[in-house]
């Protein structure tokens, strides 16, 4: 019989080529099986691990060793200091999207009873976090993925903000009432070029949440034009690190605007923009 400490050390070897924190990931997988926390593990490191628990851990580690995302195995993802539900078939939220939430929060705090639309809500993390952070907010969150919408609803219920968010299946604004007015549109749309070769772990994520067209920024351009046509005064969007120049040209050539600012991610790469439009 082996202790938890021995098992963690043994199985960490299988993930050395997959992650820079193999032991930490084995611990996460183990705790997910045990439904315990890190404090519990530290207090029980030298206790014997039951055979059925080790068997489950072995299967999880073998799955992770194929580059299958850790988040899809545990069905959990950390974002903005909270733990959200996640499922395979739905894009895994990235830390840099927290910057988009911060930008949106700063703007929305200056607007009384703001109304927001999110294009491509995925797991719902942006809308849910904004619903948590902004008191009198109303949000419509759309996606074309039924599985994503159901997951987003689950996350909204988990954080008791389902009364602030309406989830709608829609391709951009297709199923949105033209009479509705919004103060802000937020989006983390697909923006990777179709021919770009993805890292192994990302290949398990839904392609329609990653690829934005032959060049990559086609969907971003569509969102910009739609927001402009619908007189939405503010747009905050994520984008690819190499899209600042072409998007700047596209915006200058196609719409009137008050202000355009780009922001960087945690790696100091261009990652998004804030666009303030002229009221028409």
15-62: pLDDT as tens digits = 999 999 999 999 999 999 999 999 999 999 999 999 999 999 999 999
Query: Is-contact 222 255, C-beta < 8 A?
Result: no
Between CA 119 and CA 230 the distance in angstroms is 14
Same domain as 101, residue 232: yes
Residue 155 pLDDT > 50: yes
183 and 51 in a single domain? The answer is: no
Q: Model confidence at 228, in pLDDT bands (50, 70, 90)?
A: very high
CATH of the domain at 141: 3.40.50.150
Tell whether the model's pLDDT for residue 1 goes beyond 70: yes
Specify whether the CB–CB gap between 212 and 218 falls below 8 A. yes
**Pairing, β 184-187 against β 115-119:** parallel
Same domain membership, residue 219 and residue 110: yes
Task: Return all residues near 81 (Cβ < 8 A) that are at least 6 apart.
Answer: none
Instruction: Looking at the structure, tell me whether residues 143 and 273 fall in a common domain.
Output: yes
For residue range 108-140, list pLDDT tens digits in order: 999 999 999 999 999 999 999 999 999 999 999
Helix, strand, or coil (residue 139): strand
Of 12, 36, 66, the one marking the end of a domain is: 66
Residues 111 and 59 in one domain: no
Q: How confident is the model at residue 280 (pLDDT cuts 50, 70, 90)?
A: very low
Question: Interhelix angle for 4-12 vs 22-34, to 10°?
Answer: 130
Whole-angstrom distance, CA of residue 218 vs CA of residue 224: 10
Tell me whether residue 77 is in a domain. no
Other Cβ atoms less than 10 A from the Cβ of 269: the count is 12
Specify whether 8 is located in the same domain as 97: no
The reply to whether 186 falls in a domain is yes
How far apart are the C-alpha atoms of 159 and 264, rounded to whole Å?
29
- 3-state SS, residue 236: strand
Structural domain includes residue 80: no
pLDDT in tens, 60-111: 999 999 999 999 999 999 999 999 999 999 999 999 999 999 999 999 999 9
DSSP result, 146-211: HHHHHHHHHHHHHTT-TTTEEEEE-STTTTS-TT---SEEEE----EETT----GGGGGS-GGGTE
* 139 close to 114: Cβ distance less than 8 angstroms: no
> Tokens 């992650």 — which residue?
19
Average pLDDT over residues 198-212: 66
- My answer on whether 121 and 180 are in the same domain is yes
Asked if residue 128 and residue 95 are part of one domain, the reply reads yes
Q: What angle do CA 13, 18, 20 make, to 5 degrees?
A: 80
User: What count of residues does the chain have?
Assistant: 280
Q: How many folded domains does the chain comprise?
A: 2
Residues 61 and 93 in one domain: no
Confidence of residue 208 (pLDDT cuts 50, 70, 90): low
Query: Tokens 């395979």 correspond to what residue?
Result: 88
Contact at 8 Å (CB) between 161 and 138? Answer: no
- Could you tell me if residue 144 is inside a domain? yes
Q: 32, 66, 100 — which closes off a domain?
A: 66
DSSP tag of 233: -
The pTM (predicted TM-score) of the whole model is 0.91
- List, for residues 249-263, the tens digit of each pLDDT value: 999 999 999 999 999
- Specify the pLDDT at position 78: 94
Whether the CB-CB separation of 173 and 179 falls below 8 Å is answered with no
What's the domain range around 239? 88-277
Spatial distance between the Cα atoms of 245 and 267, rounded to a whole number of angstroms? 19
- Residues 10, 149, single domain; the answer is no
């Amino acid at each position: 019989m082996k202790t938890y400490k021995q098992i963690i050390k043994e199985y960490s070897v299988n993930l050395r080529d997959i992650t820079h924190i193999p032991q930490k990931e084995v611990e996460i997988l183990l705790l997910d099986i045990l439904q315990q926390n890190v404090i519990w593990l530290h207090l029980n490191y030298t206790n014997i691990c039951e055979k059925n628990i080790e068997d489950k851990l072995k299967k999880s580690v073998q799955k992770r060793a194929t580059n299958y995302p850790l988040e899809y195995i545990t069905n959990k993802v950390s974002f903005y200091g909270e733990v959200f539900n996640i499922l395979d078939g739905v894009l895994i939220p990235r830390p840099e999207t927290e910057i988009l939430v911060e930008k949106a929060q700063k703007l929305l705090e200056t607007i009384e009873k703001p109304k927001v639309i999110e294009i491509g809500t995925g797991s719902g993390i942006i809308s849910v976090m904004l619903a948590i952070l902004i008191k009198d907010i109303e949000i419509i969150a759309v996606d074309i993925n039924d599985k994503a919408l159901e997951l987003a609803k689950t996350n909204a219920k988990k954080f008791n903000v389902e009364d602030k968010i309406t989830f709608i299946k829609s391709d951009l604004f297709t199923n949105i009432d033209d009479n509705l007015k919004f103060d802000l549109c937020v989006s983390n749309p697909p923006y990777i070029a179709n021919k770009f070769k993805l890292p192994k772990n990302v290949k398990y994520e839904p392609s329609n949440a990653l690829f934005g067209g032959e060049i990559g920024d086609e969907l971003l351009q569509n969102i910009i034009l739609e927001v402009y046509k619908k007189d939405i005064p503010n747009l905050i969007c994520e984008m690819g690190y190499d899209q600042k120049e072409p998007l700047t040209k596209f915006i200058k050539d196609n719409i009137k605007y008050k202000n355009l600012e780009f922001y960087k991610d945690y790696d100091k790469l261009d990652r998004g923009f804030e666009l303030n439009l002229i009221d028409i």
